[in-house]
A and B are shown apart, each in its own frame.
Chain A
Amino acid sequence: MRNRGDALRDHWADSHSAHNSRRPEMLPGNVAWLTGRPGAGTLCAKTPGPRSISAHINGGAILNHSLRQLRRKVGPLENELIDAFEAGAVSRRTFLVRGSVLGLGVGALGMIISACGGSDDATGTSGGTDAAPTGSGTDTSSGTDTTAAAAAGGIKQGGTMRLASQRPGSPLDPIAMDNIGSYTPVVMSMEYLCGKGEGAARAPMLAEAWSPNDDGSVWTFKIRQGVKWHSGTDFTAADVVGALDRLAPTNLAAYIDPGSAVATDASTVTVTLKNPDGQFPYQVSPYNPQAVITPPDYEIGTLFDQKPNGTSAFKLESYDVATGAKYVRFDEWWGGKAYLDGVEIIFSDDNATQINGLLGGQVDAVIQFAVSDADALFASDSVTVDSIQGAGHRQIWFNVREGTFSGEKGAKIREAVALGVDRQALIDTVLQGRGDLGNDHPIAPVYEYWDSAQPQRERDVEKAKALLEEAGAAGISLTMHAPDLQEIALLAEVVQSQLKDIGMDITLNVESTSTFYTRWCKVYDSKTEPAGCDGGEEFGIVDYGNRGTPDVYLVKAYATGEWNSAHYLSEEFNAAVKEYQASLELEARKTAVKKIQEIAHRDIPYVIPYFYNTLTAYSKTVTGVQHTGLGHYFLGQAGFTE
């Protein structure tokens, strides 16, 4: 019987024959082996540096030749990235992430790194893009865990892994699902074109490889062959086109039209974008959870539980929204035979139950939980807690169009609030240290184009008081609205007490999420300028989840989007966002993002106190778990330790 890793390794051997593809660490999703220092004897193809002079001539010559060949094959975007890496303008990690998004395979990335070297501490990238783990766990890429354990004979065949998950909050419509409780059961069976690699990197999934044209407006995906649907039929390029056509008028409406995806042959799909986008693979990856490749007999609105199907290692056996979902192993999975016999997802409504389940041994993992509920998990030595650095954050919004926070006086009050919050104290108390400082713009340090040089806004009580005085708002009383979700209620309380120090009298109105969202924005796609989010309250806290790129935050919250609760409208900002979206090269993107950060930081339509880490936990008896922080648990290579 073939081991579940064999098929993956075979695939790698085919795609990257220049390498010793039997290296088990070279499974998709694991590029960790590349992050080590290159061996001696390297030669960079374009402009050999001083190091290359002392290089081993034969090895260097081969690499040099291979790199030249590669440079000829790939487009200008890839060459630009190689140039930047070679010049030391991007770090190795950034290079790996960007390279994976542009479709450079692990073999090619490894060769370039071997040829050009590079460092992790290159200029301007101190934040790094890799979701650098913090806390007690790591951002697990299954490759490392699984293969290491397998090599040691550590994973046993069999067993059912039980996951505690939030109850689905809406019908399991893969395209329209909008909450983590709905994502988990769907993505246990369905897969994406591009999968998750180490940190923010992309790895092959249903697409084996992909590449952009010269300006990033057309992307070509090589579709994996030999894949079967759970229903037994063959997975084809036409199925991908069908799935993208269903996404076109809905989830991917900003990117493609129906008909934009075309199968040029049995294994190739080209996608022509409405506007060039150098990061499009993120949109067909787990970072955009709704972009799963749905079966050919699906229509918009088909529910997964009513027509269960998919291409993953586990197929749905039963589903009951009241209790949970059960999956059995799909032996014809393209990745080989999974270790686990099955997976069971157990639904519940609150984190406490899920955490108790893990501590009591009734489940093996909790998909996601808030730091405020989890002291017992952090203290447990039988549980691995993974803390994934991300871009998820909370926005304290101000209505800048009318009322207290509008005009010149309003700007002073907004700045006073921004100066009044003690961000580090919030991270320490509300997140127990598991987060990054926010600087009143939605670009998180996790993004490779984050401008780390921007000065951090620090707490300044005296200046805040003076600003309130100037605005004639000393001792002002306000009501702050917030949803009772994860740590937000606690955040609201701490902010309330911090703002008391600058003389603001805040009354909290913390409501259930279902009530809150009708108050936050009453009209979501109003045609008034700026469009969207009319009639909401003027002041409050709202949640934004983790995203692979900041587009959702920029377009929906800051520009004229439907979640623009600040009613913020700035031509200057919108121009910077356009510039960011049109920028295909990293340097141009950094320039645009720098402007975005400066404008948002200056105008303060939202105070963003922190970017929180996403937490997931699983028993130490399981290994090979790969997760995203967005509800995905990819368990094709997971199993119980012996």
Chain B
Amino acid sequence: MGKFVLKRLASMVVTLWMIATIVFMIVNVLPGDVGRKVLGPTANANDVAALNAKLGTDKPLLEQYFRSLKNLATFDFGDSFQTGGRVMDLLWPALGRSAKLAILAFIITIPISIGAGIFAARRQDKLADRVVVNAGLGSSSLPEFVTASVLLAVFAVKWKIGSVYANVPAGTSLFGQLEYLLLPAMAMVVSYFGYIARMTRAGVITALHADYTRTATLKGLSSGQVMRRHVVRNAMAPTITVISVQIGYLFGGIIGVEKVFNYAGLGTMMLNAVGKKDIPVLQTAVLMVGIIYMISTLLADLLIAALNPRVRLERGS
């Protein structure tokens, strides 16, 4: 197991290097120079050149690339081109905000969707099953920003329930934060519910028809024991994989929801950084999302291994 984790960590470093390289290449393909983007169209060329010299963005690309790699390797993430402040001063709070929203969304989504999936699987092809499947299909086919916009227009603007701005003012109590975060979290819940519920349903149906389930039932276990010990345990592997992938997505991919609710999370930071060609912020933010993605899939693999001895054995060998 230890060897497995070490191997995975080593491959993470390689992946991160590739991410850093790809981001650097993409950002430098974008049109416009950094000094001009930061200072705006009204600045004169001397000021633009001076800023480029100060930021080092007038150097050859290869030199800039190696310098950025060296900085990343030494955990020196540099200063934001846009604000002049430290990149991590900008991104740590953003990461915290994204984590808060993601955790809330997960706390709501996971029990509801797994519960709905199991509920539907046990009533396969009955009305309840159809309702869950179709509701899941409908909700997951709605883009998050559409759900977010509808929730915002109906709840926050029309009924004045919840907030248009999701950023939580400092000093708000844990319960008070719900007022700000519930609507964007619900937008994410709607999107993920269908996916996770259907995945759970499929896993449970497969497990319900499996030989070991029949054996367990025949040997006289109660249906609750069969579900807990045999069905759910075996059915969860694909669901956990899906959830782990969604975690990375939640942190980096919910730009639409963050934008609608003006939430200053990692997604918003990345979007702004692209617009302003703020390479240090963009590179660090993408790396952060990459690390979260890799850690969550690693944890998922470990969890699946813990649940399923066969996987553990294969990995150990």
Contact = CB atoms under 8 A, between A and B. Distances in A.
A215 interface: no
A321 B264 CA distance: 9
Contacts of A349: 259, 262, 268, 271-272
A557 to B, nearest CB: 12
B164 interface: yes
B260 interface: yes
B147 to A, nearest CB: 15
Given A170-B39, A320-B93, A353 B31 contact: no
Contacts of A361: 160
B32 A518 contact: yes
Contacts of B42: 178, 563
B264 A322 contact: yes
Interface residues of B, number: 43
**Interface residues on chain A, size class:** 35 or more
Interface string B159-189: 0100111010000000000000000000000
B40 A357 contact: no
A540 to B, nearest CB: 13
A171 B44 contact: no
Main secondary structure of the interface of A (DSSP, over half): loop
Contacts of B198: none
Contact of A178 (B43, B45, B276): B43
B44 A353 contact: no
Given A353-B164, A353-B260, A356-B153, A524 B82 contact: no
Given A178-B42, A322-B268, A360-B164, A353 B36 contact: no
A620 to B, nearest CB: 16
A178, A321, A324, A515 interface centre (most CB from chain B within 10 Å): A321
B93 A518 contact: no
B275 A357 contact: no
B309 interface: no
A322 B157 contact: no
A525 B31 CA distance: 20
Given A321-B83, A525-B44, A514 B259 contact: no
A524 B264 contact: no
Nearest to B156: A360
A357 B84 CA distance: 29
A525 B260 contact: no
Contacts of B160: 360-361
A180 to B, nearest CB: 11
Contacts of B60: none
B90 interface: yes
B275 A512 contact: yes
A538 interface: no
A346 interface: yes
Given A167-B272, A178-B39, A356-B153, A322 B44 contact: no
A176 interface: yes
A305 to B, nearest CB: 8
B82 A171 contact: yes
A81 B171 CA distance: 57
B32 A515 contact: yes
A521 B45 CA distance: 12
A88 B90 CA distance: 60
Contacts of B257: none
A108 interface: no
A362 B39 contact: no
B116 to A, nearest CB: 31
B152 interface: yes
A179, A303, A518 interface centre (most CB from chain B within 10 Å): A518
B27 to A, nearest CB: 13
A176 B47 contact: yes
B90 A518 contact: no
Contacts of A303: 84
Interface string A504-519: 0000000010110110
A323 B167 contact: yes
A360 B276 CA distance: 30
Given A353-B165, A514-B37, A518-B36, 4 more contacts: A178-B43, A321-B82, A353-B262, A563-B41
Interface of A: 167-171, 176, 178-179, 303, 306, 320-324, 346-350, 353, 356-357, 359-363, 512, 514-515, 517-518, 520-521, 523-525, 562-563
